[in-house]
Structure 1
Amino acid sequence: MDKEQEEIQFLGFFGILKESCNIVSSWTKIFTQITLSLIIPLSFIYLAHIQISEVLFANIMHDEFVLHRTPEGTRSYNKISNILSSEWTTFLLFKVGYFVFFIILALLSTSAVVYTVACIYTAKEITLRKVMSVVPKVWKRLMVTFMWNFIIVFGYNIVSLIVLFLVVFLLGPIRIVGVVFITLFAIIYLIGLFYITIVWHLASVMSVLEERYGLNAMAKSQALIKGNMGISGAVFFVLGLCFFGIQLMFNFLVVLGGEDGNGSRIGYGILCLILLSINMLFGLIAQTIVYFVCKSYHHENIDKSSLADHLGGYLGEYVPLKTKDVQLEQFEV
């Protein structure tokens, strides 16, 4: 990443994607190591959870179907009911376990990639050993930011549901007006959720590269994307579209692809794993570049030596800088 501060702010949609490709092609070894160590396991867990969830839920639906057609009070009814309770418990515990492991690996991957890109930007020597030694320290800050994002999304969903139920209750039976409202409501809801997602992604980068984290990082991230929402939104939208496209391909070709045989399903599964890993890697690199673009757009000078000192503080090479030192002063173009 050899562009100067003044050049970065002019990177558009294609410029950000091109810069992401240049970084990967120039530092293939370190990103291959990070992908093998963190991102492929993350992608595998995500895809495996889709397949396992489908199997567990299919068994539950089958037993629910049998239970409804079994006379109550019989031995068979009680046996199936006990099996169903056990299956639901297994399903819920699996979901909780998956969520915990996925979040941990996702935050570790984010820490590793953001730290690596920042080291490349500051021309700092980087090895997998250094990255892995820094990741546990940065991960704690990212977890705080993630928890606040989780709280915000949870609150956003609760308020949205309350508003939806109130309006539907006031409108009465669903008619044309109701359909129009629900459609508009769904569009506005998705736009709001997408906006929160963008803010969180930039806040995650900020939690690594600055002393901000949690609500402080979310607030600063919201300020950064002002004036650059179009480019930021386009980058995250395209990457998200690719992500869900890969997920749909996995669902159709692997999860529901029983007629193709196990050999074909395994092959498609490996293909989806590779594509998803590439998508996740590029997504993490792109969100780091978007952060630099937004900082530059607002004329917040990112001094390479100060940033290098901050990054070195994770390794004990320097005393960690305070926010005012890392946040860096504004400059005039």
Structure 2
Amino acid sequence: MDLAEEELQMLTIPSLLRESVDIPRRSPNTFYLITLTLVFPLSFSILAHSLFTHPLLSHLSSGDRHGHDLTLLLLFQSLYLIFLFSFSLLSTSSVVFSVASLYSSKPLSFSSSLSSLPSVLPRLFLTFLWVALLMLSYYLLFLSSLFLLLFSLDRGNPFLVLLSSSAVLFLLLGVHVYITAFWHLASVVSVLEPVYGLAALRKSYHLLKGRVRMGWVLVFCYLFACGVINGVFGVVVVHGDEYGYGVLARILAGGFLVGVLVIVNLTGLLVQSVFYYVCKSYHHQSIDKLALSDHLGGYLGEYVPLKSSIQMENLDI
């Protein structure tokens, strides 16, 4: 993919998606192995965990509140969150590093992508902690505002209560999608620039200006697709016996939905990587391919002087 800075600025959402899905063709073996070892386990765990938690939840809700079942549920959920968090960071760092290597014409292989993980993961982890703190603060503020709103409304007017609650929920959804776009861009910044944590969030905030609508739409479509896949999986696979689906049909449907989610997750990671370059070009912050290559080489143990900024006159991807 050879795009000049002006072409990056003109990318629409459909063309950005096309450019993103074309990237794996430049190094198919690397992205095949990343998908198989990182993106597939992530996608499988997202869907399959409900198969294990559903029986435990059903047993607990039936009135037989056994401490053993509750302990198993809490243990399984804890392990699931650790697994999900770990593979999410691993997938993000590997894909962002691989895309940047291709953009900077740096030799790319699956082993080099894995070799970068020990240096990249701490940076992503610190950025995630700041995002988690931001999310927690926002939700606490939201719940407090919702409680005060419902408390102050006339409860004798159910239409007004429903209308106000719906408006607040739509606002929650909109801000949640924006923060998610903000987080994804900050993750790419943490990998490709010599900043991370709070500094990466500040950089992401400034980069997102002018491209908020595009980022919001991209993240909303991704979350919507994931929601639909999860919903269909829950109806057909998890609760399939209640709706008359046979075992074979549930297995085939489950395998198909996992495959679709793998494609959605990989595409989402590729899109967030390309979106970073779109935002940089929009603000005329071009990327020095040599400086980017040196920065990526630092993750592999190659000694290079880390530059404070990654800029040049134009970007040839």
TM-score by length of 2: 0.94
Inter-CA distance 132–174: structure 2 relative to 1 (3 Å threshold): farther
1:256-305 Cα deviation digits (max 9, x unpaired): 11222221111111111111111110000000001100010000011111
2:280 is aligned with 1:295: yes
What is the rounded CA distance, in whole Å, between the counterparts of 1:57 and 1:265 in structure 2?
Answer: 20
- What RMSD over aligned residues (CA atoms) do the two structures have, in Å? 1.5
* Residue-by-residue CA offset, 1:39-61 (whole Å, 9 max, x unaligned): 11111111111221212111111
- Quote the residue 1:280 is aligned against: 265
The alpha carbon displacement at 1:5 in A equals 2.5
Match of 2:309 in 1: 325
Give the aligned partner of residue 136 of structure 1: 118
1:181 aligns with 2:158: no
Check conservation: 1:301, 1:329, Cα contact below 8 A: yes
Q: Tell me which residue corresponds to 2:148.
A: 166
CA distance in 2 between counterparts of 1:242 and 1:182 reads: 25
> Cα distance, 1:9 vs. partner?
1.6
Which residue of the partner structure matches residue 194 of structure 2? 211
CA 1:320/1:282 → structure 2, altered by over 3 Å: closer, same or farther?
farther
Report the counterpart of residue 69 of structure 1 in structure 2.
Answer: none
Give how far 1:178 is off. Answer: 2.1
Corresponding residue for residue 46 of structure 1: 46
CA-to-aligned-CA distance 1:4-25 (integer Å, 9 cap, x gap): 2232121110111010121123
Distance 1:7 1:181 in 2: 43
Q: Find the structure with the greater CA-based Rg.
A: 1
Whichever residue aligns with residue 7 of structure 1, its letter is E
Looking at structure 2, the residues matched to 226 and 330 of structure 1 have their Cα atoms a distance apart, in angstroms, of 21
Q: Is the 8 A contact 2:194 2:309 kept in 1?
A: no
Question: Given the superposition, is the C-alpha separation of residues 221 and 325 from structure 1 closer, same or farther in structure 2, using an over 3 Å criterion?
Answer: closer
Q: Which has the higher contact order (CA 8 A, sep 6+)?
A: 2
Whole-angstrom distance in 1 between the partners of 2:229 and 2:207? 30
Give the secondary structure class of the aligned counterpart of 1:185.
helix
Distance 1:200 1:130 in 2: 25
Indicate if the aligned counterparts of 1:310 and 1:318 stay in contact, CA closer than 8 A.
no
Task: Write the distance in 2 (CA, Å) between the matches of 1:174 and 1:199.
Answer: 40
Give the Cα separation in 1 of the matches to 2:199 and 2:277: 18
Report how far residue 214 of structure 1 moved: 1.2
Q: Is the 8 A contact 1:168 1:174 kept in 2?
A: no
Provide the C-alpha distance between the structure 2 equivalents of 1:194 and 1:238, rounded to a whole number of angstroms: 10
Task: Return the alpha-carbon distance in structure 1 between the equivalents of residues 86 and 18 of structure 2.
Answer: 29
Range moving further from structure 2, 217-226 or 283-292 = 217-226
Partners in 2 of 1:170 and 1:242 — Cα distance?
36
- Supply the distance in 2 between the matched residues of 1:177 and 1:59 (Cα, whole angstroms): 38
Letter in 1 for 2:168: F
Task: Give the 3-state SS of the residue equivalent to 1:325 in structure 2.
Answer: coil
1:174 and 1:203, CA in 2 relative to 1: closer, same or farther beyond 3 A? farther
Select the residue among 86, 92, 97 that pairs with 2:79.
Answer: 97
Aligned-residue offset at 1:320: 5.0
CA distance in 2 between counterparts of 1:320 and 1:15 reads 36
The equivalent of 1:245 in structure 2 is 228
Unmatched 5+ stretches in structure 2 = none
The 1-side partners of 2:255 and 2:187 are apart by 29
Sequence identity, in percent?
39
Q: 1:37 to 1:174 in 2, by over 3 A?
A: farther
* Other-structure match for 1:75: none
Residues 65-99 of structure 1: CA deviation (Å, up to 9, x unaligned): xxxxxxxxxxxxxxx55x2x221222122111111
Q: Distance in 2 between matches of 1:241 and 1:180?
A: 23
Residues 280, 174 of structure 1: alpha-carbon distance in 2 compared, 3 angstrom cutoff: farther
The equivalences for 1:1-333 within 5 A come to 1-62=1-62, 64=63, 80-81=64-65, 83=66, 85-173=67-155, 175=157, 176-258=159-241, 259-322=244-307, 324-326=308-310, 328=311
The one-letter code of the counterpart of 1:92 is L
